[in-house]
Amino acid sequence: PLLGKEGMGEVKGGEVGFSDFKKIVYDSLRDKRVYSSEEINIVTKDNRRVSLGATTSLLKDREGAVTGIVVNFKDLSKIKDIHSQLQRADRLASLGGVAAGVAHEIRNPLGSIKGLAQLLSEELKGSERAKYIDTIISEVERLNIVVENLLTLSHPDKVSVRLCDINEILHNTVGLSKYYIGEKDIQILEEYDDTIPKIIVESERLYQAFLNILINAVQAIEKEGKISVRTKAGDNSVSIELSNSNSYIRPEDMEHIFDPFYTTKEKGTGLGLAITHQIIIGNRGTISVVSDEKGTHFYINLPIAAQPLEVVQ
């Protein structure tokens, strides 16, 4: 329970959101004011950010004098999560049409620039100016990746679903992510639940989603640290946890972590996690993030469903 025997002591630091709670109590007692679903945002001891709706009722004696109050709390977190998902879906829908048009307009000139730059590179081979041409080509390729990501975000490819082993997909993705470690001292720990049944998913797109998270995890660790990959079977879903140590995401950044073009990286595009979110939702799953002093943790749930006839074995 959020508020147990220790009362508001369950709240981290005893002050986060506590001042709002005190104001409600004091106003109710002093001014006989009644609150209805007044929102209070708190952080619990296990670093969960929780939105509560506080509703107060006045206790009166037989003469009508106020002798106390009753405060009822309602967890608004799920409601806010659904609202955020709907807002994100609206933003992605609005972005989709614009992004597709812009991406198509950019793609053709980029191809021409790259082709001409490659011709110049051949002519200037061995020249001091050749390095400038190589820079042009590499920057064009980087822009092309952004364009491809925009097209993926706005019009995801139709990928056939298959009956897949999630543990196998994750293990293969971990193997790919090791190429991004470079000189860093990073351990990747894998802990898979062997009782997980095969589930119906878009395996190719899930590879991309998991790889995006793991690459972010590698980039978030400056020199050394650990990345853990865990799975667990539930009654109706498969739970996946992808965590990394030595990193922390600020609450103000956490609110926008899945928004397109929102990034804290110097050379980031802000599309990787937006695409990841879209892939997980497209596979009827859910994804959430928690960041604390131990690191950053991505939690993914994918449903275990009956196999449809059109699934490719």
Q: What is the pLDDT of residue 238?
A: 94
Under a CB-based contact definition with an 8 Å cutoff, are residues 192 and 230 in contact? yes
pLDDT in tens, the chain (313 residues): 334 333 444 444 444 455 677 777 777 777 777 877 777 777 666 556 677 788 888 888 888 887 888 888 777 766 666 666 666 666 555 555 566 666 666 777 878 888 888 888 888 777 877 888 888 888 888 777 767 766 666 555 556 788 999 999 999 999 888 888 888 999 999 999 999 999 999 888 898 899 889 998 998 888 889 999 999 998 889 999 999 988 777 777 777 777 766 676 666 566 778 888 888 988 889 888 888 878 899 999 999 875 443 554 4
Q: What is the pLDDT of residue 191?
A: 96
Q: What is the pLDDT of residue 13?
A: 42
* Structure confidence by residue, pLDDT tens digits, 221-272: 888 899 999 999 988 899 999 999 887 777 777 777 777 666 766 665 667 7
Q: What is the pLDDT of residue 241?
A: 95
Residue 44's nearest CA partner among 25, 19, 16, 20 is 16
Under a CB-based contact definition with an 8 Å cutoff, are residues 59 and 69 in contact? yes
Give the pairing type, strands 286-292 and 199-201: unpaired
Residue 70 burial by Cβ neighbours in a 10 Å radius (0-12, 13-18, 19+): exposed
Q: What is the pLDDT of residue 231?
A: 96
Under a CB-based contact definition with an 8 Å cutoff, are residues 170 and 210 in contact? yes
Indicate whether this model's pTM tops 0.85. no
3-class SS of residue 12: helix
Element counts in the chain: helices (H) and strands (E): 7, 10
Q: What is the pLDDT of residue 119?
A: 85
